[in-house]
A and B are shown apart, each in its own frame.
Chain A
């Protein structure tokens, strides 16, 4: 009995070894190769530079009121930054609206530091105070790295934001009849060689909503979620979505609620 078992065990082991030796180590798929390249890039993510800048901006006296942002309430109470990113967008009593990270940062820059929120909203990404909003968003996101998304949906406005976001997600329009759903409503699809996350459900840890802000290597730019949405709409051949506008926040609510439980890896690195 023991001898038979031993022979069987050796036979299985030998078969395993033989299989390993004869298994073809064929060429990598294009997708695998790109994934490897991205993993190599992840060490030394230039997003670190924006993170450092954002932290400095939070703690520096700036603006007409010469104040820091250290009393800014991102939803967890004034000055509480850790954990705030994974609960945004959410409803705020002082502004009586659902706000995402960037619009909330701009609110704080106005109320605490005296900047003109409307002026910042009109400023192009990568210019003027928008550069600072991006850096701040990068740092705030970094303070929640590894935490899991858990947007509140208790307030009626938060629920409404989700419902609006869902409808906007499926809104077909523009010259090409595209909606967000055209690219992001089916599992396992890609545009050219770029994998597309499924955003109608939880796409998984570090994917989709959980991966922005991100540093884009291809153009050397730090992209916040507002910029990511802006460029999506540009590619969809839509007109220009206002910075922090209702539909951009609603889309954030829709994606963020769908991503409940997903681990944030922001700020991440992208092609």
Chain B
């Protein structure tokens, strides 16, 4: 027959066990703070990625426009304004005021989603596309378009642009250029890649996109 432990020993052991569980639960109940978890997540990101081809780990060093927008909650108005101010400071207007190019080239650039991944071989802008159709409807005939961004069909027409060289069109011309060059100028947490600022497209490529969107002869505005 098995000998049971004496009553006093058993209850003492039980008290110790309960105290231990209590201590453990107290520790669990609080857990790491939100700020500590933020820090741990950043550390995990740094530790989990490595260089591959043209994609180096310096790409995940965040600037304010990225870090402040890395949450399901938007940044405060003050921070958003700082981000937009920083974006405005990066703005480069096209050389010689050449805002426009060829809308046919623009369509080709808009169709291409190439460039800057670790399977691409060059970081040159000539190797890059604009990725535009991935997120936007643009011309009427291309049915394979994404819906992450708003439709850009009739972009110029809807904004009353009948002559891209007219002074009346200048505000929308500048707005559109800034949106493509650095979308954070207007929207701190914009989903738009910063094509100009990040060196993804050069000013000639952006000028072609400007024509695609604003030229009254472009298929986008038919």
Minimum distance in angstroms from B121 CB to a CB of chain A: 14
Interface size on A, as a range, is 35 or more
B48: Cβ under 8 A from any A Cβ:
yes
Residues of chain B in range 127-170 having any CB-CB distance to chain A below 8 Å? 131, 133-135, 143-148
Query: In the assembled complex, which residues on chain A have CB atoms less than 8 Å from the CB atom of B200?
Result: 175-176
B222 within 8 A of A: no
**B41 in the interface (beta carbon within 8 A):** yes
Are A237 and B148 neighbours in the complex by a CB distance under 8 Å?
Answer: no
The reply on A246 being an interface residue by CB < 8 A is: yes
B47 near A177: Cβ-Cβ < 8 Å: no
Asked if A30 is an interface residue, CB under 8 A from chain B, the answer is yes
Binds A, one of B2-10, B90-98, B171-179, B190-198: B190-198
Q: Determine the distance from Cα of A105 to Cα of B28 in the docked complex, in whole angstroms.
A: 29
* A30:B60 contact, CB within 8 angstroms: no
A239: which of B44, B57, B134, B143 is its contact (CB, 8 Å)?
B57
| Nearest B residue to A250, CB-CB | B44
Query: B112-138 CB contact bits vs A (8 Å, 1 = yes)?
Result: 000011110000000000010111000
Q: Say if the beta carbon of A235 comes within 8 Å of chain B.
A: yes
Residues of B contacting A185 in the complex (Cβ-Cβ under 8 angstroms): 72
Q: Among the listed stretches B15-23, B63-71, B99-107, B208-216, which one makes contact with chain A, having 4 or more residues with CB under 8 Å of it?
A: B63-71
Nearest-CB residue, chain B, relative to A182: B191
* Contact present for B133 and A172 (CB under 8 Å): no
Within A193-240, the residues touching B (CB, 8 Å) are: 193, 196, 200, 233-235, 237-240
Q: Tell me whether A16 is interfacial, beta carbon within 8 Å.
A: no
Cβ of B197 to closest chain A Cβ, rounded Å: 10
CB contact list, A139-198 vs B, under 8 A: 156, 159-160, 163-164, 167-168, 170-179, 181-183, 185-186, 188-193, 196
**Minimal Cβ-Cβ distance residue in A for B192:** A177
Are B116 and A182 closer than 8 Å at their CB atoms? no
A159, A182, A192, A234 — most chain B CB neighbours (10 Å): A192
Given A170-B71, A191-B148: A245 and B55 interface contact (C-beta under 8 Å): no
Contact: A238 with B60, CB < 8 Å? yes
Q: Would you call A258 an interface residue if the criterion is a C-beta within 8 Å of the partner chain's C-beta atoms?
A: no
A-B contact pairs, 9 of them (CB 8 A): A30-B143, A164-B41, A167-B70, A189-B148, A192-B133, A193-B143, A237-B117, A239-B59, A246-B47
